[in-house]
Amino acid sequence: MEYVNFGSAGIKVSKIALGMGFRGQADEAMAQRVVEYAIEQGINLIDCANIYGPMDDRANIGRSEMILGRALKGKREDVVITTKVCGQIGSGPNDSGLSRAHIMREVQRSLKRLDTDYIDVYLVHGPDVFTPQEETIRALDDLVRSGIVRYIGCCNHAAWQVCRALWLAEKLHCVPYMCVQHPYSLVNRGLETEMFGLVREQGLGVMAYSPLGVGLLTGTYTPDNIAPIDSLWGTRRKDIYANTMTGAVGELVKLLHTEAAHLTKTPAQLALAWVLSRPEVSVAITGADTIEHIKDNLGGIGWAVPTNVLAELNQASSALRLILD
Predicted confidence band of residue 151 (pLDDT cuts 50, 70, 90): very high
DSSP for 107-123 reads HHHHHHHHT-S-EEEEE
Mean pLDDT, all residues of the chain: 91
What are the residue ranges spanned by the domains of the chain?
3-215+268-302
Per the residue annotation, which of 3, 37, 52, 151 is the catalytic one? 52
With a cut of 90, say whether residue 288 has pLDDT above it. Answer: no
Helices (H) and strands (E) in the chain, counts: 11, 10
Look at the domain 3-215+268-302 and name its fold: TIM Barrel (3.20.20)
Q: What is the pLDDT of residue 36?
A: 95
Higher pLDDT, 57 or 87: 87
Please compute the mean of the pLDDT values over residues 285-308 and round it to a whole number. 93
pLDDT in tens, 190-248: 999 999 999 999 999 999 999 998 888 998 888 787 777 777 776 667 777 777 778 88
pLDDT in tens, 136-150: 999 999 999 999 999
209 is catalytic: no
Please compute the mean of the pLDDT values over residues 25-31 and round it to a whole number. 82
Q: What is the pLDDT of residue 324?
A: 55
Q: What is the pLDDT of residue 223?
A: 79
Q: What is the pLDDT of residue 55?
A: 59
pLDDT in tens, 99-144: 999 999 999 999 999 999 999 999 999 999 999 999 999 999 999 9
Predicted confidence band of residue 296 (pLDDT cuts 50, 70, 90): very high
pTM: 0.92
The CA distance from 266 to 276, in Å, is 15
- List all residues 6 or more positions away from 63 whose beta carbon is below 8 Å from its beta carbon: 28, 52, 53, 54
Predicted confidence band of residue 273 (pLDDT cuts 50, 70, 90): very high
C-alpha distances (whole Å) from 311 to each of 229, 297, 306, 315 are 34, 22, 9, 6
The answer to whether 44 and 14 have CB atoms below 8 angstroms apart is yes
